[in-house]
Structure 1
Amino acid sequence: MNEKKYPMTYEEYEKRVIELFLEPGTYTATKKEKLEFIYDELLKNDPDFIRNQYNSDCKSYDNPEKYGIVDPEYIFSDERLDAIPVYNLELLF
């Protein structure tokens, strides 16, 4: 049995963060422009940007009481991903 320690692997996390970032929002940028930003700028200059967010979320998941989190599953929910890592991408964009 291949059991995961966290609700998402890093690969699943990265994929979902990028999917949420690509959804239409307040910016008029196209998906192509957003993808170019992620792969041609951000991850070339800081290849660990999303991984560092993932590692931070895993740390919060492991120690929810330390961070005042009632439901550790919330950390990997779309709502939280949109509020933290996706929002950080939007700020950089």
Structure 2
Amino acid sequence: MNNFQEWMEKMGFNRKQVSEAGALIGFRKDLASLVSRGARELSETERLALAAVRAGLPAWTPETDAAIADVGAVQRIIERAVARQEPSSSASASEESKAA
């Protein structure tokens, strides 16, 4: 399974919905088919589009810029919070939940 097919699956599309999935990131029907078959690799820009659609981000416009930036800020906060957690404390919590 290639990256586009895996993304389609995670988004809830089946293999017969290649055109519909591709349309979400601006692919023409023939390009979506090529990428789905593995005859063409995804570009970095296309991978970013897949990520944006997967994350539920709107298309960028001056009006959506602040909301998109806020999503990035929240992501950084979450990453810092996760990085601060010590593995031993999460292991203890896991053991406590098993005992309950």
Fold similarity call, TM over 0.5 = no
- Higher Rg of the two aligned structures: 2
By relative contact order (CA 8 Å, sep 6+), the higher-ranking structure is: 1
Where on the TM-score scale, by shorter chain, does this alignment land: which range? under 0.3
